[in-house]
Amino acid sequence: MTSLPDARLFIGGQLRDAKGGRTFDIIGPWTGAPVGRAADASVQDIEDAIAAARRAFDDTDWPTNVDLRVSLVQKLYDLFDANRGRLSDLARHEAGAAMGAVGRAHVDMAMDGWKDYLAVFPQVQWQKSYGERSGYGMMHERIAVYEPVGVVGAITPWNVPLYVNVGKVVAALLAGCTVILKPAPNTPGMGAIFGELAAQAGFPPGVINVVFGEDAALAGEMLVKDPRVDLISFTGSTGVGKRIMEQGAATLKRVFLELGGKSAKIVLEDSENFAMDVATTMLVFHAGQGCAVHSRLLVPQSRYEEAKAILKAAYANFGDNWGDFDNPGQIMGPVISRRQMERVLSYIALGEEEGATLLAGGKARPDKAGGFFIEPTCFVDVDNSMRIAQEEIFGPVLVVIPFQDDDDAVRIANESSYGLSGGVASGSLDRAMAVARRVRTGSVSVNGGMCIAGDLPFGGYKSSGIGREWGLEGIEEYLETKLIAWRK
Residue positions annotated with a catalytic role: 258, 291
- Contact criterion met (CB below 8 Å) for 159 and 109: no
Q: Report d(CA 174, CA 194) in Å as an integer.
A: 15
Please state whether 394 falls in left (phi above 0), alpha (psi between -120 and 50) or beta.
left
Radius of gyration of the chain (CA): 23
DSSP string of 77-127? HHHHHHTHHHHHHHHHHHH---HHHIIIIIIIHHHHHHHHHHHHGGG---E
The number of residues in the chain equals 488
Neighbours of 169 (CB within 10 A): 26
Residue 374 DSSP class: B
Rounded CA separation 235/258 (Å)? 5
347-368 residues labelled b (16+ CB within 10 A) or e (exposed): bbeebeeeebeebbbbebbeeb
DSSP SS3 for 208: strand
**Distance separating alpha carbons of residues 326 and 114, to the nearest angstrom:** 28
